[in-house]
Structure 1
Amino acid sequence: MKYVIGIDLGTSAVKGLLVNQGGEICSEVSKAYPLIHKQSGYSEQNPEEWVEKTIQALRELLERFEGNRQDIEGISFSGQMHGLVLLNREKEVLRNAILWNDTRTTAQCERIREVVGMEKLLEVTKNPALEGFTLPKLLWVQEHEPEIFKKAAVFLLPKDYLRYRITGKLHSEYSDAAGTLLLDVREKKWSEEICNLLQIDTNICPPLVESNHMVGTITAEFSSQTGLSESTNVFAGGADNACGAIGAGILVDGKTLCSIGTSGVILSYEEDATRNFQGKVHYFNHGKENSFYTMGVTLSAGHSLSWFKNVFAEYDDFETLLKDLNNVPIGSNGLLFSPYLSGERTPYADADIRGSFIGMSASHEKNDFVRAIVEGITFSLYETIAIFRENGKEINTIISIGGGAKNEDWLQIQADIFNAEIVKLDNEQGPGMGAAMIAAYGCGWYQTLEECSNHFIKAAKSFRPDKENTTRYKQLFQIYKKIYNQTQNINKELKSFR
């Protein structure tokens, strides 16, 4: 039996999956690491933590493994997007990595919009300038830490730095590079035009390869630290959302993903980069060669539930918290929730907006609030689906993964609000499985990623929309849509009191 390993480098932990040729997960390990918050709006990590915890995770996987280590043929990666790692000429890290959820770069986003222009930015990168992306972080270092910037020889994204430490080879790949605002998404090359306009030397951009490209093998040092064979093939991997899509089988036209974790994502496959969403949703290169995906983001999806649990129901686990969802009627007895606890991304790129409960009365109980939160999260995600449909995409079947797929009542709510069939997977592992599939495809186990998907991914259950419920939710959604505009100015005025 042959094996591959998928490494998912997340924001709070690195996860390793050992997967065999049948797509079965033989072992999994997770190792946590801390975030560094030097001040409000700052979010950083020490890249050395990623390396140390990955070594620990792989060592533990190998200690459990009873087979021949030569049979572990490949390893690939999924990684948190948009983070900035700067290396000097000696390939040493110059400062902590600045992460995707760091919001210090509002002024730099404004500079990009002024210098490059919105029309040119969308034409080249297919995305607007937002604080989370890599280019604004690069400009922030250029402006606030000029001595560090002068020493910078290359920038890397988080998983690309980890892979460099494993192989000694510097690369990026298209799905992660698409989240920098420096990639010409259609032409699949770094944009000299944007670099020149913002006085960035294009030599700081790493070489680009496909996600399934074998970038090298494991160094002798990393082999001795983990127990992996030096002959293990290392593949470039992909951005977490691209790998999550691969791990859910979003590899052909018509396939759409709903992923509800801390944040929430609606992601849909695109065969080319010709569709124009006017920057309302993200448009990225996929981990499958010469394909793309569009994506909308709800910043506080599962986070809204965990916030409520921690503040108002700390002794409940999530299963208990959600067990009475179906005992509360549609509309939560007249209670609406907008999940803007950390601002919002899609369809409102607004860092100042905050969440609301609308319609509270003394008759409402805890279960009403829980149902309202679930409905509010799902409405926010539906706004991305509405944008897709308004631009001619057919959204009929949606694969649901993450925390939102663990409760069947919530899956039915998704079916009713999205007005689509919702499919729950039998063995859902998200981005880590996508990384393993890239390695399996790269090793030649399958002729295509789609063939790999057919072997690795199985549906467990599906949920179809109830026509009467869908009609009720359409009425409720019209009310929900009013919340943003009617609370936007109030939240701006409240900002000085936070």
Structure 2
Amino acid sequence: MGKYILAHDFGTTGNKATLYNSEGKLIGSHLSEYETFYLDVNWAEQDPADWWKAVCKSTKKLISESGIKKEEIAVISFSAQMMGCLPLDKNGNPLRRSIIWADQRSVKQAQKLREKVGADKVYQITGHRISPAYSVEKIMWIMDKQPEVYEKTYKFVHAKDYIVNRLTGEFVTDYSDASGMNLYDINKKRWSPEIISAIGLDKDKLPEVRSSFDVIGKVDKNIAEEVGLKAGTPVVLGAGDGAAAGVGAAVVREGSAYNYIGSSSWIALAAKKPILDQKQQTFNWIHMDPEMYMPCGTMQTAGASYNWLKNTLCQAEQQAAQNLDLSVYELMNLSVEAVKPGANNLLYLPYLMGERSPHWNPNAKGAFIGLTLRHTRKDIIRSVLEGVTFNLKIISEIFENEIDFSKIRVIGGGAKGKTWRKIMADVYNKEVLMPEILEEATSLGAAIAGGVGVGIFSGVEVAEELNPIIERQTPDPENVEKYSKLYPVFKDAYSSLTGIYDRLSEID
């Protein structure tokens, strides 16, 4: 068997190919970008041919730069963007561009699903709210608007599934991606007969659901040269990016949790059963380990709020950072450290693009509340980090009603800043753990799937060894007390402004 694991992670902007050795150490990575097409308001599509080109380009580039032979690659595996909709014919040819997760065109189809099945019923079956973000609403849009495409469709698949098909000829998806379609019964682990019947979908157009660790096939000899791999290299299915990130963050035992901080942010944990919130504020994936689940809540603008602040109010920090050859965020964080917790009772509501969890309100808007003449820019900077964290605490509390967890891992670019990690520890009143690998956690999860699939690793628990904790931040009791007083005010502030949000949204 070869010594290396090749993992491909299909994000929204590009495919990151990563190479790991059999000890789980990162050898190299290469990003190959592709285009997203915005053909109309709230439409977002990608060309699967671009995905394939990215795989071929990044694979060859990575092997060349790493100085290894393609014969040394033991397995290829995947993680990818979820909630997509790509129709393929019997030969695996795309019948149109893929409608990706960010697409919101299927509002009418979501309403139709609501009328035919019911919002509560869909949530109970699938673990997800009804939303145009999910795959089944996109499939229904094709049924309504492009019936000729629907009739020719052999299978509807996701991004990673298409590449697996190109490599092996098989039409499959994994449990995590299936569980993000608003179509899969996550308790019975089957496509939902009730939803399928209600919308008139042909069940045969749905792919077979397999484990993330399954060897689906081997690289076909007719495609091997084009992709730059040895014919016969095992192909392991892998998982959706959310599930892969969870494994990469070593959230592999019940009650372990992680907080991803990027442009958006989410909190997710490993659980033995789904967590169904009465208000449907959170949702559920099936974990990469198909015997477990991954309850999750995602907010829209976390790191994006800090980035907006940088571009809007922090020109002085940007100039200083350039002169000193430092990250502008390091200087912004120094400003935060100069302000006491609570930012002198200044609250920031982080709803710059509406909100998903916990409010699911597209009309929500950002706000600073409590501004006075005594507030400075440093207060504003601190209040942004605190406001994002307050919003994430609401998500955390939903899960705490079901599972007691006192520690939370943080990954993503935003997890680099110690200042933010301190705020998290004090707001959450939990120990915040920073693992060694922050931004490559998703690709590590995909690599672990591949390694488990071919026997290099014994199970997903290996993630705890491959991504160990290197820093811990414990809560400060005094700061915890201060935040416990501001937190209910933060929640009430949102509730008090919902009518204002709606009125603002009605004005042209």
Q: Give 1:69's aligned residue.
A: 70
Q: Give 2:110's aligned residue.
A: 109
Q: Give 2:225's aligned residue.
A: 224
- Post-superposition Cα deviations, 1:214-266, rounded to whole Å, max 9, x if no partner, equal 00111234421232211221111111110000001111012001001121010
In structure 1, how many angstroms separate the alpha carbons of the residues matched to 2:166 and 2:376?
Answer: 52
Q: Give 1:24's aligned residue.
A: 25
Q: Give 2:44's aligned residue.
A: 43
> Helix, strand or coil: the match of 2:506?
helix
Please say if 1:34 is aligned against 2:35. yes
The amino acid that maps onto 2:88 is L
Please say if 1:491 is aligned against 2:492. no
> Helix, strand or coil: the match of 2:397?
helix
Any conservation in 1 of the 2:221–2:232 contact (CA below 8 Å)?
Answer: no
Q: Give 2:474's aligned residue.
A: 464
The amino acid that maps onto 1:60 is K
Q: Which of 364, 380, 395 does residue 353 from structure 1 map onto? A: 364
Q: Mind listing any 5+ residue stretches in structure 1 that lack a counterpart?
A: none
- Post-superposition Cα deviations, 1:279-318, rounded to whole Å, max 9, x if no partner, equal 3311111111311110011111111122222333363633
CA positional deviation for 1:148:
2.5
The amino acid that maps onto 1:2 is K
After TM superposition, the structure 1 = structure 2 runs for residues 247-262 of structure 1, keeping only pairs within 5 Å, are: 247-262=248-263
- Post-superposition Cα deviations, 1:442-470, rounded to whole Å, max 9, x if no partner, equal 110222221x2233121110001111111
Q: Give 1:423's aligned residue.
A: 433
After TM superposition, the structure 1 = structure 2 runs for residues 442-481 of structure 1, keeping only pairs within 5 Å, are: 442-450=453-461, 452-481=462-491
In structure 1, how many angstroms separate the alpha carbons of the residues matched to 2:427 and 2:217?
Answer: 46
- Post-superposition Cα deviations, 1:325-346, rounded to whole Å, max 9, x if no partner, equal 2112212223211111111111
Report the more deviating stretch, 398-407 or 160-169.
160-169
Cα gap change, 1:363/1:147 in structure 2, threshold over 3 Å: closer, same or farther?
farther
Any conservation in 2 of the 1:133–1:181 contact (CA below 8 Å)?
Answer: yes
After TM superposition, the structure 1 = structure 2 runs for residues 8-19 of structure 1, keeping only pairs within 5 Å, are: 8-19=9-20
The amino acid that maps onto 2:465 is H
Cα gap change, 1:366/1:230 in structure 2, threshold over 3 Å: closer, same or farther?
farther
Cα gap change, 1:136/1:375 in structure 2, threshold over 3 Å: closer, same or farther?
same
After TM superposition, the structure 1 = structure 2 runs for residues 207-218 of structure 1, keeping only pairs within 5 Å, are: 207-218=208-219
> Helix, strand or coil: the match of 1:28?
strand
Q: Give 2:325's aligned residue.
A: none
The amino acid that maps onto 2:74 is E
Any conservation in 1 of the 2:78–2:237 contact (CA below 8 Å)?
Answer: yes
Any conservation in 1 of the 2:155–2:171 contact (CA below 8 Å)?
Answer: no
Any conservation in 1 of the 2:345–2:486 contact (CA below 8 Å)?
Answer: no
Q: Give 1:320's aligned residue.
A: 331
After TM superposition, the structure 1 = structure 2 runs for residues 303-314 of structure 1, keeping only pairs within 5 Å, are: 303-313=304-314
Any conservation in 2 of the 1:98–1:137 contact (CA below 8 Å)?
Answer: yes
- Post-superposition Cα deviations, 1:330-374, rounded to whole Å, max 9, x if no partner, equal 122232111111111111111121211212334433332221111
In structure 1, how many angstroms separate the alpha carbons of the residues matched to 2:169 and 2:78?
Answer: 15
Please say if 1:3 is aligned against 2:14. no
In structure 1, how many angstroms separate the alpha carbons of the residues matched to 2:39 and 2:310?
Answer: 27
Please say if 1:329 is aligned against 2:329. no
Any conservation in 1 of the 2:92–2:165 contact (CA below 8 Å)?
Answer: no
> Helix, strand or coil: the match of 1:323?
helix
Q: Give 1:239's aligned residue.
A: 240
> Helix, strand or coil: the match of 1:18?
strand
Please say if 1:126 is aligned against 2:136. no
The amino acid that maps onto 2:199 is L
Q: Name the TM-score, length of structure 1 as normaliser.
A: 0.95
CA positional deviation for 1:488:
1.4
Any conservation in 1 of the 2:92–2:169 contact (CA below 8 Å)?
Answer: no
Report the more deviating stretch, 187-196 or 356-365.
356-365
In structure 2, how many angstroms separate the alpha carbons of the residues matched to 1:94 and 1:323?
Answer: 52
In structure 1, how many angstroms separate the alpha carbons of the residues matched to 2:35 and 2:419?
Answer: 34
Report the more deviating stretch, 171-180 or 118-127.
118-127
Report the more deviating stretch, 139-148 or 194-203.
139-148
Report the more deviating stretch, 185-194 or 302-311.
302-311
In structure 1, how many angstroms separate the alpha carbons of the residues matched to 2:75 and 2:257?
Answer: 28
Any conservation in 2 of the 1:59–1:225 contact (CA below 8 Å)?
Answer: no
Any conservation in 2 of the 1:20–1:26 contact (CA below 8 Å)?
Answer: yes
> Helix, strand or coil: the match of 2:16?
strand
> Helix, strand or coil: the match of 2:344?
coil
The amino acid that maps onto 1:488 is T
Q: Give 2:287's aligned residue.
A: 286
After TM superposition, the structure 1 = structure 2 runs for residues 194-213 of structure 1, keeping only pairs within 5 Å, are: 194-213=195-214
Report the more deviating stretch, 196-205 or 131-140.
131-140
Any conservation in 2 of the 1:62–1:228 contact (CA below 8 Å)?
Answer: no
> Helix, strand or coil: the match of 1:270?
coil
Q: Give 2:296's aligned residue.
A: 295
Please say if 1:53 is aligned against 2:54. yes
Any conservation in 1 of the 2:276–2:283 contact (CA below 8 Å)?
Answer: no
Report the more deviating stretch, 63-72 or 377-386.
63-72
CA positional deviation for 1:193:
1.7
In structure 2, how many angstroms separate the alpha carbons of the residues matched to 1:167 and 1:310?
Answer: 46
Any conservation in 1 of the 2:175–2:290 contact (CA below 8 Å)?
Answer: no
In structure 2, how many angstroms separate the alpha carbons of the residues matched to 1:103 and 1:370?
Answer: 32
> Helix, strand or coil: the match of 1:481?
helix
The amino acid that maps onto 2:460 is L
Q: Percent identity?
A: 29
Q: Give 2:152's aligned residue.
A: 151
Q: Give 1:271's aligned residue.
A: 272
> Helix, strand or coil: the match of 1:27?
strand
> Helix, strand or coil: the match of 1:212?
coil
Report the more deviating stretch, 31-40 or 476-485.
31-40
Report the more deviating stretch, 16-25 or 106-115.
106-115
Q: Give 1:92's aligned residue.
A: 93
Cα gap change, 1:90/1:36 in structure 2, threshold over 3 Å: closer, same or farther?
same
Report the more deviating stretch, 29-38 or 458-467.
29-38
CA positional deviation for 1:212:
0.3
Q: Give 1:401's aligned residue.
A: 411
Q: For the aligned residues, what is the CA RMSD?
A: 1.7
The amino acid that maps onto 1:496 is E
Q: Mind listing any 5+ residue stretches in structure 2 that lack a counterpart?
A: 322-327
- Post-superposition Cα deviations, 1:164-212, rounded to whole Å, max 9, x if no partner, equal 2222221111001100011111111111221111111111111110000
Any conservation in 1 of the 2:17–2:31 contact (CA below 8 Å)?
Answer: yes
In structure 2, how many angstroms separate the alpha carbons of the residues matched to 1:33 and 1:68?
Answer: 27
